[in-house]
Structures are given as structure tokens and as C-alpha cells.
């Protein structure tokens, strides 16, 4: 029995979904959305706040400020509310309605950026707003998930060891790249302990993280308009980019089998399926991918037929053949 004193005390998850009955492959999905924050970002948020408190940069009169597409904003909102701290989250118009409403319900001051930066997109515009506010008022404390080593440290000390605890004979790990916190924490841990498992980074087409030109993206979570400072591609054995159309179809296909996951999960599972089709014709590799969040915050987007038809067309409503076994 787990007894906790604060919502951020519940971050560990040892729940894995076996996708072999659906996909015919030894692919396990580690579920990180089963906590009060509803996503893997609660790990990073708790780690970064603890580090700031230990360093003495965060005090009772501080005002937290952070740029987030959604999930980290919710996680920080929860911890700030629990600790009695003020928090300003700077997001953009792609933030899901439910996510925004959740942050407001927790007392967060939400700033929504409407215009992207001509070169760096919404992320660059959000970061500019954060920098200007910090320069104008010294009470603001910016944890900066994009450069904060406590971000990847949360996964080095938690997510990665938990994966190998349950899957010690793992051969391939698929992990999405957003801020690169989860990806780098896992990749560094696997390399440092000498694990033979291959690490495959997954990102959305239109993101610049893997060195490709920017493009339009509608699904928050993975991807970036500015290359993450934490990202070191030398830690990865392979990289896969996924079209958002495939992310949507994968999410909706999983939902058709009773599993409602978020957009990043659809992207990672789609990328894993493509990589395995190309590299594991015998269907013998034991692999896993990380599911960052659940799908309830995407009901007005990924799981809304009208929204999907408007942005991706009728093909996006078609289930993937792999799920019709």
C-alpha cells in the first residue's frame, strides 16, 4: 500500500502494457501517465523543484515561471499548489483546452502565446516571453526544462532503472524526444551501465531536433522548433521521424482496443512499429517504448472526428492494419 503526503510523491510506475497480442511483436509500453500530473513530466517537475530548493534559488516569495506545451505545466501547477507557490505557465495556442483548464483550476497564471517566432516557432516566442519577464522581475524563478540537468536526472535515476528492473533482457528501447529530458536520462543510464540494448530516438516530422528543417506541427509533446540544449545524438543508435497523421492513426487504433493514450504515445508506438518492421523481420526482438501520458487531455483534438478531419483528412480516421489482427 502506498501512502503519500503530497501528490508529487507518487511518480513511480511499474505498469507495462504487452502489445504482442495486438502487434505480434514483443513490444512493451511503459505507462507513465498514472499519477496526479497525468504524465511523465511529474518526475521532471519534482526533480527540478527539489534541485532548486536545495540550491536555495527557490524560496517562499518566489514566482515559478516555465514554458510548456502542456504536461510539464500541469505537473508544476500541482506542485506549486501543494507548496503554496505562485506559478506562471507560458504556453501557446496548440495547448489542449483540457490541459489549459486543468492548470487554471490549480491556480496557475496561464499566458498563451498567439504568434510564433518567424524562425523558432512557438517555442522561441514562449522562451522570449519568459526571458523578458525574468529580466523585469527578480522574483521570477525559471527552472528552464530545456537546459536543466535535473530534467534528465529524473529519468536517469527513476525511469531507466525501472525499465531494466522489469525487462533485464531488453534489446531495444524506443523513446520520444521533446525537451530531451526523458530520452537523455534513459540513454545516458543505459550507456553508463553497459546495457547492450539499442536506444532509438523518436520525433515528429517538422521538429528540428534531429537536424531537419522546421515544419508545421499540431500535436503538443514531442518535437521542438528550437533544438533542445540537452540533446546529444551520439547517445542514440538510431533515429526515426513520424508524420503526425501516423501518430493520430496509432492513437485512435489503440483507443479502438480500449487504450486511450496521448499524442506522444502514438508517435513513439508508430515509430517503433516502423523501425521493427525494417529491422526485425523475424519478430524476435524484445523491445519497449515509453508512453508519456494518457489520452483524456486530447479528447477535443486527436479523438474528435471533426478536428481530425479538418486537419488530417479522412485517412486519419482509418484504423491501422496491424490492429485488425
Task: Give per-residue pLDDT as tens, 26-82.
Answer: 999 999 999 999 999 999 999 999 999 999 999 888 999 999 988 999 999 999 999
In a domain, 36, yes or no: no
User: Which of 114, 142, 170 delimits the end of a domain?
Assistant: 142
pLDDT for 44: 95
Residues 222 and 302 in one domain: yes
pLDDT for 324: 59
pLDDT at 210 over 80: yes
The DSSP secondary structure of 228-257, one letter per residue, reads -TT--GGG-SEEEEE-HHHHHHHHHHHHTT
pLDDT at 322 over 60: yes
Global pTM reads 0.93
Average pLDDT (186-198) is 98
Residues 72 and 175 in one domain: no
pLDDT, averaged across the chain: 93
pLDDT at 1 over 70: no
Q: Which has more confidence, 320 or 52?
A: 52
Residues 13 and 49 in one domain: no
Strands of the 63-67 sheet, one edge to the other? 109-113, 86-92, 63-67, 140-142
Residues 132 and 163 in one domain: no
Report the SS3 class of residue 142.
Answer: strand
pLDDT at 166 over 70: yes
User: Which of 142, 169, 189 delimits the end of a domain?
Assistant: 142
pLDDT at 313 over 70: yes
Residues 209 and 108 in one domain: no
Residues 304 and 167 in one domain: yes
Q: Looking at the 3D structure of the chain, how many domains does it have?
A: 2
Confidence of residue 325 (pLDDT cuts 50, 70, 90): low
User: Which of 142, 166, 199 delimits the end of a domain?
Assistant: 142
Residues 180 and 313 in one domain: yes
230-264: pLDDT as tens digits: 999 999 999 999 999 999 999 999 999 999 999 99
Report the SS3 class of residue 302.
Answer: coil
In a domain, 147, yes or no: no
In a domain, 115, yes or no: yes
In a domain, 291, yes or no: yes
Q: Which has more confidence, 204 or 321?
A: 204
Q: How many residues does the chain have?
A: 325
Confidence of residue 84 (pLDDT cuts 50, 70, 90): very high
Q: Closest by alpha carbon to 70, among 84, 90, 46? A: 90
In a domain, 2, yes or no: no
Residues 291 and 226 in one domain: yes
Q: Return the CATH number at 114.
A: 3.40.50.1100
Bridge-based pairing state of the strands 238-242 and 198-204: parallel
Where helices occur in the chain by DSSP H, the ranges are 20-23, 41-55, 71-83, 97-105, 121-136, 149-154, 160-166, 181-192, 244-255, 263-279, 305-312
85-113: pLDDT as tens digits: 999 999 998 888 889 999 999 999 999 99
Residues 26 and 137 in one domain: no
pLDDT for 10: 87
Residues 102 and 207 in one domain: no
pLDDT at 123 over 90: no
Which residues span the domain enclosing 84?
A: 41-142
Residues 272 and 133 in one domain: no
Q: Which residues contact 214 (CB under 8 A, 6 or more apart)?
A: 121, 206, 207, 208, 225
In a domain, 149, yes or no: no
Q: Which has more confidence, 20 or 122?
A: 20
Residues 65 and 209 in one domain: no
Average pLDDT (196-208) is 96
In a domain, 302, yes or no: yes
In a domain, 89, yes or no: yes
Amino acid at each position: 500500500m502506498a501512502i503519500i503526503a503530497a501528490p508529487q510523491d507518487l511518480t513511480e510506475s511499474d505498469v507495462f502494457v504487452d502489445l504482442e497480442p495486438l502487434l505480434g511483436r514483443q513490444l512493451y509500453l511503459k505507462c507513465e501517465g498514472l499519477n496526479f500530473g497525468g504524465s511523465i513530466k511529474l518526475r521532471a517537475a519534482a526533480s527540478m523543484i527539489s534541485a532548486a530548493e536545495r540550491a536555495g534559488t527557490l524560496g517562499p516569495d518566489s514566482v515559478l515561471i516555465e514554458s510548456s506545451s502542456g504536461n510539464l505545466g500541469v505537473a508544476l501547477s500541482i506542485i506549486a499548489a501543494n507548496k503554496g507557490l505562485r506559478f506562471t505557465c507560458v504556453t501557446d495556442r496548440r495547448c489542449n483546452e483540457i490541459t489549459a483548464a486543468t492548470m487554471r483550476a490549480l491556480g496557475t497564471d496561464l499566458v498563451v502565446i498567439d504568434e510564433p517566432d518567424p524562425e523558432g516557432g512557438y517555442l522561441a516566442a514562449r522562451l522570449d516571453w519568459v526571458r523578458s519577464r525574468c529580466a523585469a522581475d527578480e522574483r521570477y524563478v525559471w527552472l528552464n526544462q530545456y537546459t536543466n540537468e535535473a530534467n534528465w536526472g529524473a529519468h536517469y535515476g527513476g525511469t531507466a532503472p525501472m525499465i531494466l528492473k522489469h525487462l533485464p533482457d531488453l534489446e531495444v528501447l524506443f523513446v520520444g524526444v521533446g525537451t530531451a529530458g526523458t530520452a537523455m536520462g534513459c540513454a545516458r543510464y543505459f550507456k553508463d551501465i553497459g546495457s547492450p540494448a539499442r536506444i532509438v530516438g523518436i520525433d515528429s516530422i517538422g521538429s528540428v531536433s534531429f537536424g531537419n528543417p522546421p515544419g508545421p506541427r499540431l500535436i503538443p509533446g514531442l518535437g521542438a522548433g528550437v533544438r533542445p540544449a540537452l540533446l546529444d545524438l551520439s547517445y542514440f543508435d538510431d533515429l526515426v521521424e513520424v508524420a503526425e497523421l501516423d501518430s493520430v492513426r496509432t492513437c485512435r487504433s489503440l483507443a479502438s482496443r480500449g487504450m486511450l493514450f496521448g499524442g506522444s504515445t502514438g508517435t513513439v508506438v508508430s515509430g517503433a512499429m516502423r523501425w521493427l518492421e525494417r529491422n526485425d523481420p523475424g519478430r524476435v526482438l524484445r523491445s519497449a517504448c515509453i508512453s508519456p501520458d494518457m489520452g483524456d487531455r486530447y479528447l477535443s483534438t486527436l479523438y474528435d472526428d471533426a478536428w481530425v478531419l479538418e486537419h488530417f483528412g479522412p485517412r486519419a480516421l482509418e484504423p491501422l492494419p496491424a490492429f485488425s489482427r
